[in-house]
Structure 1
Amino acid sequence: MTISYFTILKNHLEHMQIEMVAAAESAADEAEPLTEGPEVCECTRMLLVTSGEGTLAVDGEEEPLKAGDCCIILSGMPHTVEAGPGSRLVFKWCHFHASFGDRELYKWLRLPRIVHMVQDEAAGLMDKIIYYVSHEGLTSRLRIKAAMLNLFSLYLERVPFGIEASYPEKPSQELEKIDTVLRYIDGHLAENITVEDLARQIFLHPNYFIVFFKGMMGCSPIQYVKQRRMETARALLLRPDCSISDVACRIGMKIYYFSRMFKSHTGLTPSKYRKLASVTAGSAPRS
């Protein structure tokens, strides 16, 4: 598993913007099919089967559907959803636009089209989305985004992220390129990293590199470098063998600048963060 795979997913979830456009519950059977032919939507669709059996056909490839199955269909992809013989297929669905939904990115990551979820939890989240789509209020969009992020979390937790499962073939050139860049960043955090340095690793002009990096990671190269420095600093501060000056040195900062930047980033000084983190590190979240 290349380090880029999880990093790309994490960054896109953190920076993802969601515009929910419709949500409801539908049903189909042999006597009353959903459509007469393939559908093509200009938005991304998420479907959660709650009862019955059927099939999902996308680009001529058919996959079986059963209760608990959740599928993501990207915009512009012709597809049909049909009930199985003698079965009534019931499913909750939502249509949305999201910054993660780039077809090329989805193809590069090779995410599965269908995963099987814990039905009650996923259905409860879908019900929230359906409710708040039709009840516009001050917090409706926030509640929809929270429910969608939870659904994406359930979806990703069910993806078999082993190297054999995720990469049955050689990783794409795009993943190999971004992996080279991310490894370079992690290996040179103590140095002054420039866009030119990063672009040189994969033989791109800096202007093209910035576009490529943002398309893959959801943020600019410099934003990502700062993010990695702060993530590394937080991890190192949990280690009692690392002094604050050691932490600053390992991420390439003078201690006074590091302390100022860390407080700006977390709202806490490094010493205060270390003290609080050591107290809470072993505490499990409440269910």
Structure 2
Amino acid sequence: MKTNYITIMMKHFEQMHVEVAAAAETVLDASSLKDKDAVYDCHRFLFVKSGTGKLFAQNKEIPLEKGKLFIMLAGMPHRIVLEAGETATLQWCHFRSSYEDRDLYRTLQIPYYIQVEDEAAISGIFVRVFEESARNGLTSKLKIKAAMLELISYYLDSLSLIDNDAPTDELQKIDMVLKYIDEHLGDNITVENMAKQVYLHPNYFIVFFKGILGYSPIQYVNLRRMEIAKNLLLQPNSNVSSVAGQVGMQIYYFSRMFKAHTGLTPSRFRKQAAFIAASSEAESTDREEGN
């Protein structure tokens, strides 16, 4: 299932919208904490900059220690506990990032925390979010989104999601559909046929698929056709007509969609790719001769 995990993540990031609701650095002590669970309607990143304590979530007790980065998903009850005399400095942000009523983070069974190796780098990302949130300049939202994507990427890079031995039922269904699509790109793929693979009603299947991939099923099929077509057009003996047939499209429709997708006609794409390849080969030869 490794390939389709990567596919799901890539498509998610292509469509991802991140909105930071609040962010700050807070120093906690036992007297400042409430003896009850907190529940938020957004996700929370919590980075332990210093100090020790405990975090309770999902009937688990997790040590709150310097260098740990937590993600508390929306609606997840959790509570921080410090003993008398203990303090902890947390950098945190509340953010939203989901598709409709589905949540990729839960679907992928992401763990609640990681141990950060480069603490200064992670702390620096939080500081950038704090500064841009306070500045509220013309490009502040773009910079905040870039920082949040960097933080999310760091978190996911630290995990072994693609080695998950127990994928959720949703991911197993998506895996079956993605395999079906790749095996039938040259055929007439319909929503009804895709929905049959996982025994779902077509109307529900559309919502289910878009909730995880961020595209409607037909949008994804066409995007996948364009990705495969680009690879095929790079082959020396390929031609536009045969490539169109291999991805199940009439040549006129294929050419029009390919240009909309890449900004180039298929023929122009092939010529440009061949030119770049020849230029790279020439530069490599020149370097070797220069040595």
Match of 1:134 in 2: 134
Matches within 5 A, 1:86-165: 87-99=86-98, 105-117=104-116, 118-163=118-163
Number of residues paired by the alignment? 278
Cα distance, 1:259–1:33 mapped onto 2, change above 3 Å: same
Match of 2:229 in 1: 233
Cα distance, 1:49–1:254 mapped onto 2, change above 3 Å: same
Match of 1:26 in 2: 26
Cα distance, 1:277–1:83 mapped onto 2, change above 3 Å: farther
Identify unmatched segments of 5+ residues in structure 2.
Answer: 282-291
Q: 1:244: Cα distance to partner?
A: 4.0
Q: 1:180: Cα distance to partner?
A: 0.9
Q: Is the 8 A contact 2:49 2:123 kept in 1?
A: yes
Match of 1:38 in 2: 37
AA paired with 2:217?
A: P
Q: Is the 8 A contact 2:26 2:89 kept in 1?
A: yes
Q: Deviations over 1:157-178 (max 9, x none)?
A: 1002353xx22x4x33222211
Cα distance, 1:124–1:208 mapped onto 2, change above 3 Å: same
Matches within 5 A, 1:1-287: 1-29=1-29, 31-83=30-82, 87-99=86-98, 105-117=104-116, 118-163=118-163, 166-167=164-165, 169=166, 171-240=167-236, 242-269=238-265, 270-275=269-274, 278=277
AA paired with 1:65?
A: L
Q: 1:235: Cα distance to partner?
A: 3.0
Q: 1:102: Cα distance to partner?
A: 6.0
Rounded to whole Å, the distance in 1 between the matches of 2:87 and 2:153 is 28
Secondary structure at the aligned position of 1:80 is classed as strand
Relative to total residues, which structure has the larger helix share, 1 or 2?
A: 2
TM-score (norm 2): 0.84
Q: Is the 8 A contact 1:12 1:100 kept in 2?
A: no
Q: Is the 8 A contact 1:70 1:114 kept in 2?
A: yes
Secondary structure at the aligned position of 1:65 is classed as strand
AA paired with 1:152?
A: I
Q: 1:279: Cα distance to partner?
A: 7.0
TM-score (norm 1): 0.85
Q: 1:181: Cα distance to partner?
A: 0.7
% identical aligned pairs? 47
AA paired with 1:251?
A: V
Secondary structure at the aligned position of 1:134 is classed as helix
Rounded to whole Å, the distance in 1 between the matches of 2:197 and 2:122 is 42
Cα distance, 1:162–1:8 mapped onto 2, change above 3 Å: closer
Q: 1:149: Cα distance to partner?
A: 1.0
Identify unmatched segments of 5+ residues in structure 1.
Answer: 283-287
Q: Is the 8 A contact 1:44 1:101 kept in 2?
A: no
